[in-house]
Amino acid sequence: MQHLIQSPLDPTFVQNPYALYAEVFTGDTIRYWQDYEMPAIFDAANVQSVLRDRGFGRATPADQIEPLRPHLAAFNAVEAVSMLDLEPPDHTRLRGLVLRAFTSRKIKALAPDIHDICDTLIAALPRHGCDLIPAFCTALPVRIIARLLGVPEDISGDLLRWSNAMVAMYQAGRTLQTEQAANAAAIEFTAFLSDYIDIKRRNPQDDLISQLLRAEDNGEKLSRDELIGTCILLLNAGHEATVHTMGNAVKALLEHETPAYALTDQNIATTVEEVLRFDPPLHMFTRYSYKDTTIGGHIIRSGQQVALVLGAAGRDPTLCKDPDVFDPFRAPVAHAAFGGGLHFCVGAPLARLELQIGLQRLFAACPHLALSRSPEFANAYHFHGLKRLDVTY
């Protein structure tokens, strides 16, 4: 297997990983990424194949589980019950409970809330211009997920702080300081949710926490730890990717001088799908191989971890014509921005609705929206989102 050397901490790479992806597509699309010490799969067909193959999964093989580290005790306790890192039957049980709250009816019912929050955020925009990431792109999804969970929106600052600290554990360049901050966030987050679960148990409402509690009370084997871990996962996953996609979408629309009719009711869905293909929020997701497998002519050994480069899969030349061109009017192309298989993102319908409504409302309220300086991506990988998005309107 051909080796690939590319530091994920290289600022040039982080600002434009697509240059590397394009180079990979000129040869073998499965490389041994030396910096990660694992095979990396870049092409769409093989990425989708592994995502759907039950011979690959997220759960760490028993012989590779790391010894307990006291400074990560609280963080690991949350991770241990996260369906993101579980396989059936535990994953099936937890996912089934969560999907009860993510019915199409429930998602559609959130549309008025999304419009309401958009109104509030747009009305509060500074007069002439701002950094749109905190002012709109971050604020919208965190408030929506707070409403979905049934927790107070006025603690959004704490939710973001806890989430950002924990999500940093999945980025390249993790340090002891990163780990300590994540563990501290897990302690605070767990304590808050533990107290709030008691409140919801006494006074249930039509929200996710109450619904999961009812499922627990009706005999489903959902422990308190699993309930806390599920809520943390939904908050972390439910806003992080949407924040990045919203920013990446505004950037793409403005840089390509996209006509307004791309955001009409008839076209907004395909525009959002093109953004997810063209510049997705998560560029890499890993799987473990549970058996010796041949992928693209390469043998992946049992127990080996594999990197699925989701960001590259959307730019695969076999996927569509001119994959490096942003074209919101192209026929929708199957992408991997929400993963696939058993771990396909449960919040995908909500994310799509937030993006569609959010982009329509923002551009309708700010018809002269323009970049005031070149957007800058955060110096982080595997997530791919903007650090700043300075605009005028």
Residue 61 DSSP symbol:
P
| Pairing verdict, β 30-33 and 38-41 | antiparallel
Angle at 285 between CA 250 and CA 56, to 5 degrees: 145
pLDDT over threshold 90, residue 213: no
Q: What average pLDDT does the segment 98-124 reach?
A: 91
pLDDT tens digits, one per residue of 176-200:
999 999 999 999 999 999 999 999 9
Residue 328: cis peptide before it, omega within 30 degrees of 0: no
Percentage of residues of the chain with pLDDT beyond 70: 98
Domain that holds residue 282: 3-392
Q: What average pLDDT does the segment 255-263 reach?
A: 96
Complete edge-to-edge strand list for the sheet that includes strand 285-289: 3-4, 30-33, 38-41, 305-308, 285-289, 56-57
Q: Which helix (H) or strand (E) holds 56?
A: strand 56-57
DSSP, collapsed to helix, strand or coil, labels residue 39 as strand
pLDDT tens digits, one per residue of 128-140:
999 999 999 999 9
Question: Residue type at 336?
Answer: A
Q: What does the pLDDT read at residue 218? A: 59
Q: What average pLDDT does the segment 164-170 reach?
A: 93
pLDDT over threshold 60, residue 153: yes
Nearest to 355, CA basis, from 239, 221, 210: 239
Question: Residue type at 386?
Answer: L
The residues facing 386 across adjacent strands are 377
Strands (E), 175-334: 285-289, 293-295, 298-300, 305-308
> Lowest-confidence range among 61-65, 213-217, 381-385?
213-217
Model confidence band, residue 71 (pLDDT cutoffs 50, 70, 90): very high
CA distance 31 to 44: 14
Q: What does the pLDDT read at residue 111? A: 96
Q: What average pLDDT does the segment 64-89 reach?
A: 92
- We report the CATH number of the domain holding residue 339 as 1.10.630.10
Q: Which helix (H) or strand (E) holds 105?
A: helix 104-109
Cβ proximity of 246 and 279 under 8 Å:
no
pLDDT tens digits, one per residue of 336-357:
999 999 999 999 999 999 999 9
Question: How many beta carbons lie within 10 A of that of residue 63, not counting itself?
Answer: 6
pLDDT tens digits, one per residue of 284-320:
999 999 999 999 999 999 999 999 999 999 999 999 9
Q: What does the pLDDT read at residue 214? A: 83
Q: What average pLDDT does the segment 37-45 reach?
A: 98
Model confidence band, residue 106 (pLDDT cutoffs 50, 70, 90): confident
The residues facing 40 across adjacent strands are 31, 307
Question: How many beta carbons lie within 10 A of that of residue 347, not counting itself?
Answer: 22
DSSP, collapsed to helix, strand or coil, labels residue 263 as helix
DSSP per residue, 320-339: SSSTTS--TTSPP----TT-
Question: Residue type at 47?
Answer: V
Cβ proximity of 32 and 2 under 8 Å:
yes
Question: Residue type at 232?
Answer: I
Q: What does the pLDDT read at residue 212? A: 86
CA-atom Rg of the chain in angstroms: 21
pLDDT over threshold 80, residue 80: yes
Cβ proximity of 231 and 213 under 8 Å:
no
Nearest to 253, CA basis, from 278, 231, 287: 278
pLDDT over threshold 90, residue 254: yes
Question: Residue type at 387?
Answer: K
Q: What does the pLDDT read at residue 221? A: 67
Mean pLDDT, all residues of the chain: 94
Question: For the chain, what is the domain count?
Answer: 1
Q: Half-sphere exposure of residue 33, counting CA atoms within 13 Å on the CB side?
A: 22
Q: What does the pLDDT read at residue 65? A: 87
pLDDT over threshold 90, residue 282: yes
Which residues neighbour 123 within 8 Å (Cβ) at sequence distance 6 or greater?
A: none
Q: What does the pLDDT read at residue 208? A: 87
CA distance 39 to 42: 10
Q: What does the pLDDT read at residue 81? A: 92
Q: Half-sphere exposure of residue 322, counting CA atoms within 13 Å on the CB side?
A: 8
pLDDT over threshold 80, residue 220: no
CA distance 247 to 135: 11
Q: What average pLDDT does the segment 39-65 reach?
A: 95
